[in-house]
Amino acid sequence: MSDHIIKTIEQLKDEIAKVEEAVRPKKSLANQLCEMAGIPPAYSGIDDPSAAPQPMMIRRNAFYGKPLSTCMKEILEMRVNLPVKEATLEEIFAGLKQGGYDLDASGANEADQKRGVSIALGKNSQTFHRVASGDYGLVAWYPNIREKRAGPPPRSAPVVPTASETPKNEDPTVKYARALRETASGSPRVFTTEGGPEEVQ
């Protein structure tokens, strides 16, 4: 229940941040007009870094005992309404720590743990996708992604006709290939002066 409430709060914060970002230019213009008129600014904190949207909130111990891939997927799902829903490796790692995931299983130190998380993201290509910027998203977000095409199918060997199927004007090269095949199958052959095979009696 608490996870659902937290997700709802995050969605509300995202919507509020979008509205505030949309009116920011108008507030700035109003302050400029106030300055020209010699009166105090109408709005404060427009360029204040502390007024920027706060980091994503994840309930403490939300990821305890869960598989790594499940935790990373939930982190990305929480970001779906952000202006940039994709996350960097650092952001995913920070989310795992905030949610209480046991990162010791991924490595002895932070560098090894981040490497383990990166490897897990790369291996699970059915769920996670790395975009051109290097950020990570969910495959479900990109329906137009084309799967890597498999290589061309192996070429089959040419079919060589048997003696009964051989036309009179058969190419000597084809005759030679057929003779080799029939020799390998146990029927010894010699070649006539015309280039065709002849059974050894």
pLDDT for position 51? 46
Pairing, β 136-138 against β 128-130: antiparallel
pLDDT for position 165? 55
Q: How many other CB atoms sit within 10 Å of the CB of residue 155?
A: 6
Q: How far apart are CA 160 and CA 184, in angstroms?
A: 13
Q: Nearest to residue 73, comparing CAs of 99, 53, 55?
A: 99
pLDDT for position 125? 92
Q: Give the CATH class of 58-149.
A: mainly alpha
- Indicate the angle between helix axes 68-78 and 89-98, nearest 10 degrees: 110
Task: Per residue of the chain (201 residues), give pLDDT as tens.
Answer: 466 776 677 677 777 777 777 787 887 888 888 888 888 787 776 665 444 444 567 888 999 999 999 999 999 998 888 888 999 999 999 999 999 999 988 888 999 999 999 999 999 999 999 999 999 999 999 998 865 444 555 566 555 555 555 555 666 676 667 777 766 655 555 555 555 555 444
pLDDT for position 168? 58
The domain segmentation of the chain, as residue ranges, is 17-51, 58-149, 163-199
The secondary structure of the chain, three-state, reads CHHHHHHHHHHHHHHHHHHHHHHHHHHHHHHHHHHHHCCCCCCCCCCCHHHCCCCCCCCCCCCCCCCHHHHHHHHHHHCCCCCCCCECHHHHHHHHHHCCCCHHHHCCCHHHHHHHHHHHHHHCCCCEEECCCCCEEEHHHCCCCCCCCCCCCCCCCCCCCCHHHCCCCCCHHHHHHHHHHHHHCCCCEEECCCCCEEECC
Q: Nearest to residue 46, comparing CAs of 62, 26, 66?
A: 26
pLDDT for position 52? 46
pLDDT for position 59? 86
pLDDT for position 149? 42
Q: Which residue has the tokens 């029927």?
A: 187
Q: How many residues does the chain have?
A: 201
